[in-house]
Structure 1
């Protein structure tokens, strides 16, 4: 089983999110057997969404951990907030937003949120290979 962790800081969220995507892409490209381009793009999209939400709604820092299993890739994002994500109805006529958690739940085979001992939470998404 391959695993990697990267700490993502919110001081400048756009570079942090881009860095998380790049770390994820590098990790996925190094896997054997390799993932197809569509699978890589799907995992990177989920990484981007979960890290973006953690930095946008919580601030501070979050930790991204990717784990490769024989049957899929696990994306875990830990942040210091106990507030769990919730489904929203996107406002189609009021800019962007509201699609993220719905999209993650549609792309991932399994999603779940667990409370962390530090008072925060970890959001996990499992995507099949």
Structure 2
């Protein structure tokens, strides 16, 4: 994890957002992109806490062309797919993550899953 080490079972959205802010600030990321990244962090961490027993891993990385947010939890159950009918409760946060991120990846294993959201950096002008 980049930033202050946190005990994963105790990770709260506000702690995760602060770690993300620290990473983004260190790389001079603008306000608009930072707001998008913080929203993705909030959604993925709150979903892990609410639906998957908590966060088992968290990492924010500033890469050449994007910011990557990785959130791991202890269940291999996938988030509700975008396109879930509106009358079915929930799933809106996952849809939001997929609108903000250029790409999302879900890697499942025996110990759970990791979701990576790749949020593109703005094109240089």
**Coordinate RMSD, CA, aligned:** 2.2
TM-score norm. by structure 1 comes to 0.80
| Structure 1 stretches lacking a partner, 5+ long | none
Could you tell me how far apart the structure 1 residues matched to 2:38 and 2:104 are? 16
**C-alpha distance in 2 between matches for 1:75 and 1:55:** 16
CA distance in 2, matches of 1:47, 1:81: 18
Correspondent of 1:17 among 13, 17, 28: 13
Deviation at 1:61, TM superposition (A): 3.3
Which SS does the other structure have where 2:67 is aligned?
Answer: strand
Unpaired stretches in structure 2, ≥5 consecutive residues: none
Q: After TM superposition, which residue ranges in structure 1, 4 or more long, deviate above 2 angstroms?
A: 5-11, 87-92
More strand by share: 1
Tell me what 1:64 maps to.
58
